Homo-oligomer: A and B are copies of this chain.
């Protein structure tokens, strides 16, 4: 992959007019704008070389302060997505298109023009997707499927997959699960959208979320018409005692491994959360996004086991296998099932039946367990390398939240986060500061402490890219 972010003189870059359509929704304006712009560049909607509107005019278009736009642009220049040059304004970084032999030439793959090293994307190591075993599962599933599997399906999803998952989740995650309690969806995003619809139909008006987290899911809830007051997050996880004051109908938590700070919700707070739900009739939405990946301690079982009537458990194949397999699952209190089925339109109009059968086969054959075990060893090795190399080359840096999962947090000296992110971009290393995940609102009555840190998704690089990514990371440590 080549790294060429200078504009080519031979090919004058297109300019970009006033029609820069960006969806900025919910609170957290700067992070939202940065995300929307990054996504527009990543997906090619903003073409390489095209000029962005002047910060003043974009700010006016969007109704935000000019400073918000300036900061967003600076962040993306730092990450390598944009370039800023005197006299030429802010532009999308130009990258050379890889030339290919004839028949495939039309199939441009925009994802290949990313920064050299990617420690941002919340995906597992895609180079190790078990292609051969997945194909075996596909063959078996396609051979064994009843004809009816090719038709319109049950809104709850294929019974074969729900059966396989009930076994797996009970065994591996301590979930109180049976096929009847499971509804299949196309990943966590889809499951949360269904839940938001069901909550709205119940007249719930607000869902509390953690003060560190992904704007994507807050936006999803906000778009469904739900308020999203934040819960303070400390070293024991989200502060549950804040819940009572919030008057919310539900709370979205990452109990096993807070995203992205990496702490586990303490046993006291797990109990407190369930007590809150019982006392108020509220629901806990448990996002168990990476529960399979534990390294240094016994697995933290699912919170859902404490009270399957008050906790909705969400899992997916996105971290354990790959996001390209669009499969997720919800384990629901019985009373919620008809509401989720209604939100789905009483049929399975979203999730591939064949892919469901493939995953059922993949789990039932033991391939899923083997894959998770093998990836766990791999990720653990990477994490150990990260810790060891940092200890040697940057002994002052504290590594946090590293007992589990695919990401860790590196605490930096005060005031250095933004310059480190920028230095990394100059090395071709895309990485995000922890501040990108902060979520505070004006009236929440507290403030998260200042914390300069990097969120390192050490799972994303391929095995061959990892040493280079690690080296680049160390080279920019203060």
Q: Which of B142, B146, B322 contacts A112 (CB 8 A)?
A: B146
Q: Which of A71-116 contact B (CB under 8 A)?
A: 106-112
A338 and B45 contacting across the interface, CB-CB below 8 Å: yes
B339 and A352 contacting across the interface, CB-CB below 8 Å: no
- Give A148 to B109 CA distance when docked, in angstroms: 9
Report A333-353 CB contacts with B as 1/0, cut-off 8 Å. 000001101100111111111
Q: Which of A107-159 contact B (CB under 8 A)?
A: 107-112, 121-123, 126-127, 129, 131, 134-135, 138-139, 142-143, 145-156, 159
Q: Which of B129, B148, B155, B187 contacts A349 (CB 8 A)?
A: B187
Q: Which of A239-247, A278-286, A323-331 contacts B (4 or more CB under 8 A)?
A: A323-331
Find chain B residues with CB under 8 A from A186 CB. 186, 349-352
Given contacts A135-B138, A135-B139, contact A129 B150 (CB under 8 A): yes
A349 and B326 contacting across the interface, CB-CB below 8 Å: yes
- Give A310 to B243 CA distance when docked, in angstroms: 49
- Give A21 to B325 CA distance when docked, in angstroms: 32
> Is A378 an interface position by the 8 A CB rule?
no
Q: Which of A303-330 contact B (CB under 8 A)?
A: 322-327
A123 and B108 contacting across the interface, CB-CB below 8 Å: no
Find chain B residues with CB under 8 A from A354 CB. 134, 324-325, 355
> Is A3 an interface position by the 8 A CB rule?
no
Given contacts A107-B163, A110-B154, A219-B345, contact A149 B36 (CB under 8 A): no
A126 and B148 contacting across the interface, CB-CB below 8 Å: yes
B325 and A216 contacting across the interface, CB-CB below 8 Å: no
Number of A interface residues in the complex (CB < 8 A): 72
> Is A471 an interface position by the 8 A CB rule?
no
- Give A139 to B190 CA distance when docked, in angstroms: 27
Q: Which of A216-260 contact B (CB under 8 A)?
A: 216, 219-220
Report A342-381 CB contacts with B as 1/0, cut-off 8 Å. 1001111111111100000000000000000000000000
Find chain B residues with CB under 8 A from A147 CB. 126-127, 129, 462
- Give A241 to B45 CA distance when docked, in angstroms: 38
Find chain B residues with CB under 8 A from A146 CB. 109, 111-112
A324 and B153 contacting across the interface, CB-CB below 8 Å: yes
Find chain B residues with CB under 8 A from A163 CB. 106-107
- Give A18 to B322 CA distance when docked, in angstroms: 43
Chain B residue at minimum C-beta to C-beta distance from A111: B148
> Is A189 an interface position by the 8 A CB rule?
yes
> Is A23 an interface position by the 8 A CB rule?
yes
Find chain B residues with CB under 8 A from A350 CB. 186-187, 189-190, 326, 350
Highest count of chain B CB atoms <10 Å: which of A108, A121, A341: A341
B346 and A324 contacting across the interface, CB-CB below 8 Å: no
- Give A147 to B462 CA distance when docked, in angstroms: 9
Q: Which residues of A contact B (CB under 8 A)?
A: 21, 23, 35-36, 39, 43-45, 106-112, 121-123, 126-127, 129, 131, 134-135, 138-139, 142-143, 145-156, 159-160, 163, 186-187, 189-190, 216, 219-220, 322-327, 338-339, 341-342, 345-355, 462
23 contacts between A and B (CB under 8 A): A23-B346, A35-B346, A107-B160, A107-B163, A109-B146, A110-B154, A112-B148, A126-B150, A131-B143, A131-B145, A152-B323, A152-B324, A186-B186, A187-B350, A216-B345, A220-B345, A324-B354, A325-B353, A325-B354, A326-B350, A326-B353, A350-B350, A354-B355
- Known pairs A36-B346, A123-B151, A153-B324. 9 more at Cβ < 8 A? A21-B339, A23-B346, A45-B341, A186-B352, A216-B345, A220-B345, A327-B352, A350-B350, A354-B355
